[in-house]
Structure 1
């Protein structure tokens, strides 16, 4: 499986920079059940291809038989003046040894078309395997971005709770001095309770996201360190048509169907070959001691067999129609998949643009919140503002950071979907 991970590092169009994400991707490649199942299917197609090649080689069989008869057939012969004499045709116990070889000389293209068909199906299975890897790693990347989002949400919820508690202390002190009414105290206490509930919800969401990530990596990771890792923003400058062209050129599922279509073409030719004669070279060697009086008898024979099917109840015609229908079916599937891939690109790009707008708005909100916090602290130091203003500014900044964190997560998930739709890496693309 280490070799598999090394190989797929070149096969899968992903650029992984974060150490944690690299570890997660490697774990998914080695342990994800869906990837393992797809890999076994790829191995099966390889074996079927080799089996088709083996049909060119001769069939050699060796047969040994030991026979014991309860009654031996024979005949009697009488000469004048002499008693009748019985002659046995076979020995009562004898063996037969036979070696046979059969080599196809001409099959109307049956064998060669069979090999070409299996080769194309092997290629299609490989690209389906690659499509599975692409899909699984896309889901793993989205899990990773969601986990970063959930972790940041927990940290932000903790900041808001700390800010709410600090605000409550200030209001409590003012209430004890009779400066503010009881209503303000109850409102501050409610904010603390609300912040505590939000923190629990954030922790619950983090645990669920972590569990999904472990599931997609085959439950092979116990600890997933996220310290120092943050969501980034890498703009994609390619146009919609350029992305669609990339998808139609690079998406593995399209390549798989293109190979399947070629295989269907060979399948039609293979069916046509059933109407042609087949020629075989046959060699046999027999050895036996079943004949009385002559000891061991052996003989060899060489023959050429020509098989020309005349009538088989229309079976070949129905197979030909079936092969042509399968070819049309694959062609329709290919066109349908191209339209589906185009739709995936458009949908992912639309989500990416929407997330990009959210990121830009959130970045402006964070800058405004930082400026508000800076002003509130200056006002508090000059005894013009109150500590409540500072605490509220801190909470507002935390919420703005949370909005930015959510927008960045949506952007990266949309980017992962777009990379899946196109089948290529887009981070850092011009």
Structure 2
């Protein structure tokens, strides 16, 4: 199959505008070091871990976490004293005039300069108080966003992995079918040469063989496309390849799950995100309530002033002054703006509660559908497993009877078709069952990465 090979082994909601402005804008062990650029054994677990470490969207999500952290630290730095230095130089081409005891006189110096050192310290500032109190939950929200993407990626990689294996199994079935038809073709040819049957059996076998080879070619191309999609999800280098490693017997043993397990909404990352967003909205509500409180800050300045009509002597003598004080800013009346902001925040809190209820209902529906599909696929899997055993038995008997001249070649063709159909249907059922199991686990919130 060109440059790749498969080896089978049996063995949400609104973002709170104010907080956005303030901040700008599976727990399992890997079987190998999947942070490498390539992997040696592409088991499902390794493929998922590799994808989480290399998928570009996940990398961007982790960068968003880092950006959030630096933004928080940038905002919280305003709690520290803010020290500033200003330098000023001014040349007056014409001095300002003033009335002094009835006389118009010029005041000031032709050249002035100042060195100004200032410091401010926030004491009570609602913006910074909001940033301090909400920083932990803002970090948590960022991490939960990444976790949600990890879970969704794990589900997609699992399904893509199973899809590639399904196509591989279908190819194996086709190859087995080709081998059987080639044997039947030889039998039909020899019997034709011996005059036992006419050439229609030989031609029918040739037609069946050509059809099987065409199906094999289609399967190979389809498998290659699905393999490339899996590599894309994993963020795997386009020029590198890997072998899918799986244990058919182990996979068959892992198809069962507890169909009586109840939904725990708190396990779902969507609910966890909404709960965090609810906390952030509570901070937002408190922020608007703090708007009735004054803002307090301390300040101090030390200035070196220089005055002289001659530039060369400007800095020969300084005239310093300094001062310090407390600034108290009290909002008195703003036309009812603050009351409306509080009411708006309270309404948004109700929206969050309604969204949580809606998501819980959605999760319940998702779980019900996933479990119904799983149970249906499980029943189908067990039925088709039995059909496969029967189809094998029927084919073996009819083939022997054909060789003995008891059965016609048409019955051999029908038996081969039934066997191929039974094999393909069985593997379809197995991987549909595994895929639906992933959907149930996601609905229950049991997939954690």
* Same fold flag (TM > 0.5): yes
Q: Which residue of structure 1 aligns with residue 222 of structure 2?
A: 205
* 8 Å Cα contact 1:25-1:140 kept in structure 2: yes
| Pairing 1:42–2:56 present | no
Between 1:406-415 and 1:259-268, the stretch displaced more is 406-415
- Can you give the 5+ residue segments of structure 2 that lack an aligned partner in the other structure? 1-25, 32-40
How far did 1:299 drift? Answer: 1.7
Q: Which residue of structure 2 aligns with residue 151 of structure 1?
A: 168
| Pairing 1:104–2:127 present | no
Identify the match of residue 224 of structure 1 among 242, 261, 265. Answer: 242
* 8 Å Cα contact 1:63-1:97 kept in structure 2: yes
Q: Which residue of structure 1 aligns with residue 9 of structure 2?
A: none
Identify the match of residue 138 of structure 1 among 146, 155, 169. Answer: 155
Q: Which residue of structure 2 aligns with residue 407 of structure 1?
A: 429
How far did 1:263 drift? Answer: 0.8
* 8 Å Cα contact 1:117-1:264 kept in structure 2: no
| Pairing 1:304–2:323 present | no
Secondary structure in structure 2 of the residue aligned to 1:309: coil
Identify the match of residue 261 of structure 1 among 275, 278, 288. Answer: 278
| Pairing 1:69–2:92 present | yes
Distance in 2 between residues matched to 1:251 and 1:15, nearest whole Å: 22
Distance in 2 between residues matched to 1:249 and 1:88, nearest whole Å: 78
* 8 Å Cα contact 1:157-1:198 kept in structure 2: yes
* 8 Å Cα contact 1:163-1:391 kept in structure 2: no
Secondary structure in structure 1 of the residue aligned to 2:88: strand
How far did 1:34 drift? Answer: 2.1
* 8 Å Cα contact 1:114-1:266 kept in structure 2: no
Aligned length: 404
| Pairing 1:119–2:139 present | no
CA 1:75–1:333: 2 relative to 1, 3 Å: closer
CA 1:319–1:290: 2 relative to 1, 3 Å: farther
CA 1:290–1:415: 2 relative to 1, 3 Å: farther
Matches within 5 A, 1:2-401: 12-13=26-27, 19-73=42-96, 89-107=107-125, 110-220=127-237, 222-226=240-244, 229-230=247-248, 231-240=251-260, 242-245=261-264, 248-290=265-307, 295-372=317-394, 375=397, 383=404, 396-401=418-423
How far did 1:417 drift? Answer: 1.8
How far did 1:145 drift? Answer: 0.8
Between 1:164-173 and 1:287-296, the stretch displaced more is 287-296
CA 1:385–1:121: 2 relative to 1, 3 Å: farther
Distance in 2 between residues matched to 1:25 and 1:58, nearest whole Å: 47
Q: Which residue of structure 2 aligns with residue 6 of structure 1?
A: none
Q: Deviations over 1:74-126 (max 9, x none)?
A: 67999xxxxx9x9864332332111222222234x553333223432331221
CA 1:243–1:198: 2 relative to 1, 3 Å: farther
How far did 1:304 drift? Answer: 1.2
How far did 1:170 drift? Answer: 2.1
Distance in 2 between residues matched to 1:30 and 1:128, nearest whole Å: 16
CA 1:185–1:15: 2 relative to 1, 3 Å: farther
How far did 1:378 drift? Answer: 7.0
* RMSD of equivalent CA atoms: 3.3
* 8 Å Cα contact 2:384-2:422 kept in structure 1: yes
